Amino acid sequence: IARTSQLHASLTQTTFIAVKPDGVNRRLVGKIIQRFEEKGFQLVAMKMIQPPRELVEEHYAEHKGKGFYNGLVDYLCGGPVVAMQWKGKGVIARSRAMMGATKDAAPGTIRGDFSIEVGRNLVHGSDCAEAAEREIKLWFGEDKINYEDACEKWIYE
Ligand code: GDP
Ligand code: MG
């Protein structure tokens, strides 16, 4: 029992991941989801939404005033977004590493393998715990399903 509750405690980290409109239009949703599934992370919420401008402006509030900000908001509002919550040990940092860097993402990463331009980089992921909490609230409110992870013991020691 001690081991089980310890394991559960270390798995409570959840992050917000979104496939941006270029990823949806380029039919890469399945591939992107597959990367996180294959890693062992658990999908706990998902929806497709064409986000209203106010939502995207708030999501990217930290970039307001930058040269690329208006184009960035247009980009995110320009089609459907697949918004998700993923759960697992170290998921925030690990999913960012799997996405690849903002600029010149390395081959082997999602951005590095499937995109060329920083302004068409397919995927968003929260960059810290505070951002994850804020973004999940913004995109989902309280909506998430907590279900037992049946293969947990085969993914975590
Ligand atoms: P991220 O956390 O890796 O997504 O990167 P940032 O938080 O720095 O930027 C948010 C998003 O803005 C990026 O994912 C890009 O889509 C976009 N972006 C960032 N920098 C640039 C830039 O220099 N030019 C353009 N066109 N878009 C940018
Ligand atoms: Mg960011």
Distance 86 CA to ligand 1 centre (A): 21
- C-alpha of residue 76 to centroid of ligand 1, in Å: 11
Cα 35 to chain center, whole Å? 12
Annotated active-site residue 124? The verdict is yes
* Pocket lining: 127 vs ligand 1, CB cutoff 6 Å: yes
* Residue 120 alpha carbon, nearest atom of ligand 1: 16
User: Cα(73) to centroid of ligand 1, in Å?
Assistant: 11
Tokens 């968003």, located at residue: 124
Q: Is the pLDDT of residue 41 over 70?
A: yes
Question: What does the pLDDT read at residue 1?
Answer: 47
Query: Which pLDDT tens digit goes with each residue over 92-147?
Result: 999 999 999 999 999 999 999 999 999 999 999 999 999 999 999 999 998 878 89
The vertex-56 CA angle with 53 and 59, nearest 5°, equals 150
Strand order in the sheet with 14-19: 42-49, 81-87, 14-19, 123-125
pLDDT surpassing 90 at residue 7: no
Q: What is the C-alpha separation between 105 and 100, in angstroms, rounded?
A: 5
Report the pLDDT value the prediction gives residue 3, as an integer from 0 to 100: 56
Q: Measuring from atom 25 of ligand 1, which residue has the nearest CA?
A: 119
Q: Report how far residue 141's alpha carbon sits from residue 149's, in angstroms, rounded to the nearest whole number.
A: 22
Q: What is the pLDDT of residues 66-102, one digit of tens each?
A: 999 999 999 999 999 999 999 999 999 999 999 999 9
**Banded pLDDT at 157 (limits 50, 70, 90):** very high
133: helix, coil or strand? helix
Q: Where are the domains positioned within the chain? A: 2-155
Residues with Cβ within 8 Å of residue 75, at least 6 apart in sequence: 20, 21, 22, 119, 120
Question: What's the fold here for domain 2-155?
Answer: Alpha-Beta Plaits (3.30.70)
pLDDT at 155: 95
pTM for the model stands at 0.94
User: How many other C-beta atoms can be found within 10 angstroms of the C-beta atom of residue 107?
Assistant: 8
CA dist., res. 149 & res. 8, Å (int): 10
E-assigned strands of the chain?
14-19, 42-49, 81-87, 123-125
| Three-class DSSP category at 90 | coil
Decide: 16 and 139 in contact? Cβ < 8 Å. Answer: yes
